Chains A and B, each alone.
Chain A
Amino acid sequence: MARFAPLKSSSKTTETNKQWVAAPAESDYQHGFSFTTDDYALISQPGLNKKIVQLIAHHKSEPAWMLKHRLQALAIFDSRPMPTWGADLSQIDFDSIHYYLRPLSDTAKTWADVPDDIKTTFERIGVPQAEREYLAGVKMQYDSEVVYGSLKSQWEKDGVIFLSMDEGLAKYPDLVKEYFGKVISVGDNKFSALNTAVWSGGSFVYVPPGVHVSMPLQTYFRINSENAGQFERTLIIVDEGASVHYIEGCTAPAYSSQSLHAAVVEIFVKKGARCQYTTVQNWYKTVYNLVTKRARVEEEGEMIWTDFNMGSKVTMKYPGFILAGAGARGETLSMAVAGAGQHLDTGSKAIHLAPHTKSTIISKSTSQGGGIATYRGLVQVAPQAVKSKNKVVCDALLLDPASVSNTYPTERVLTHDVQLEHEATVSKIGEEQLFYLMTRGLSEEAASKMIVQGFVAPLIRKLPLEYAVEMNRLIDMEMEGSIG
């Protein structure tokens, strides 16, 4: 889910690919993103076996322990059954997936080559020109490199490491080894095992003690590195008293011919540190997005997940935090917009292991056109986590009778001295609200859009300004033609 990754992870349309390129015609994709690029240096055979894993490790010249880790994960992936809860995953054909694509370093493309409909989408969402070119696979412009360069020298001065995961492993093998797979273990679940076996790309971030990274780190900045985003692996370590805001994804609809995206994100927040991780994603509507994200938060640390889910056929994603140190705090803000043919099964996990820990989970979802939005959450308070507090709020909006909204919260409390609150509401757009706005001269569609935007506004507000603006326009686009 690297910011622009999916654009690049489209593949050669060879005969073998055709069968796993999504069944619906590409023209069905309303935002008109489809790239058939020939810019891959290496495409592995479809299917997954030991050889493929060895090939990946060999190509990346990885240390022996990583290969061992990968093979161990592969064995676990093979032995685990498919999850039978949540969304329907039975359609995934693991044998038709290419597990490793290595892009060529130079992709010569110009803005003029970019299809008009994509330009139109950018125009409507309001993506700045420099970003548009990057998004469309055009190389970075000189200006942006200057901006990136000055930020980079500042980070280097402070000792901040911000690399792709592959570079991180090559340059800081000891640091990676110390943390890799420590909060999401090899056998955590079937899809994290799959990721561990074949991971490629993703980010590696280390922030030294006391350093506050003022500008959000965006995968967007990390040019000239492999953004490829099918099985990316991200590791973020925020050392004592430091803080960082990391942003992945993009509001622009991301086409990917790959049918499966299984990422793993591990975050370590040390004593007194703070980490905010923002995801803005909008996958092609045939993608299975099965992601495992978890943070371990030490004493007085703070972890904030802002998770915005749009697009994809199926999303199953439950960013979690383990509050392991006294006074640690965690917060999840989750939003899901489910349209026709989509099942977004999202939520959050809060594990309280230490006294005086606090967590908040706020989830908002909208369902329309027969879409299914599910909140699935777990709050667990361990016996030693006395004086802990948790609050979960889920609000769902149903836009038509065919759509479905589910809420499955679980609160497990193993100590007595705690305060847990949960509340959830499901409703449709109020007739009175619509009527009022329509008497003021708005069309039904405009009125509905306004109500939905008001509904999600408290979450959108947490985004950096340019993302917030883009997100609002995107929700507008998603709702177009869905009313009445």
Chain B
Amino acid sequence: MSDSVITYRYENLPDDQPIDLELTKPGHYRIELAGKGVEVNIKGVFQAKEQETVEVQVQIAHLAQHTTSNTLLRGVARDQAQLKLIGTIKVEPSANQTNAFLTENILLLNEGARAEAIPNLEIQTDEVKCSHAATVSSIPEEQLFYLQSRGLNLQTAQDLIVSGFLKL
């Protein structure tokens, strides 16, 4: 992974519509909400397979008042791959009335696959609502069992669940 940081800076909202940002490649991102009232929805879907190490670092910096961010990062790791999702919500003292949410979900498909989920919060003012959630798990056996009882084989059932998981 390269060390260069890809920065997105939003000063204002065109047409008063929330901005949708999709992260497609692993790497190091910084998203700045620099204008009053800016709202950003960030989504990212990542897959790691074979011997890969996939690392995604996203820093969401709230620099202005009344800013909102919704971040959803999802990933699937299979084979011997390693997947790392590091998300940080940073609320500067100047960013009152901030709402920020960060979710990280990782699915581990087989033995040998590894994952690291690090959702950080750094909050420096009090007029905020911030939360994050993270999960790391395998595919629940009940879901596989259900699909198999409907006549799908294990591989198809697994593929179906994964594609559903990654569809945002």
Contact = CB atoms under 8 A, between A and B. Distances in A.
A120 interface: no
A445 interface: no
Given A407-B120, A413-B108, A416-B138, A399 B130 contact: no
A409 B104 CA distance: 12
| Size band of the interface chain B makes with A | 20 to 34
Contact of B121 (A411, A414, A417, A424): A424
B134 interface: yes
A421 B105 CA distance: 9
A471 to B, nearest CB: 24
Interface string B122-141: 11111111111111111000
A413 B129 CA distance: 29
Majority SS at the chain A contact face:
strand
Nearest to A398: B126
Contact of B117 (A400, A407, A411): A411
Interface string A385-425: 00000000000101111011111111111111111111111
B123 A404 contact: yes
B44 interface: no
Contacts of B132: 407, 422-424
Contact of A404 (B106, B113, B115, B124): B124
Contacts, number: 115
A86 B117 CA distance: 20
B119 to A, nearest CB: 6
Contacts of B114: 412-415
A426 interface: yes
B138 A418 contact: yes
Contacts of B109: 416
Interface in B23-78: none
A422 B120 contact: no
A18 interface: no
Contacts of A415: 108, 111, 114
A416 B135 contact: no
Given A401-B126, A422-B134, A424-B131, A413 B116 contact: yes
A377 to B, nearest CB: 10
Contact of A427 (B111, B112, B120, B130): B130
B128 A398 contact: yes
A427 B118 contact: no
B143 interface: no
B136 A420 contact: yes
A423 B117 contact: no
Interface of A: 383, 396, 398-401, 403-428
5 contacts: A412-B114, A415-B111, A416-B111, A416-B113, A424-B133
User: Closest 7 A-B residue pairs measured CB to CB?
Assistant: A416-B108, A398-B126, A407-B121, A425-B131, A422-B134, A420-B136, A428-B126
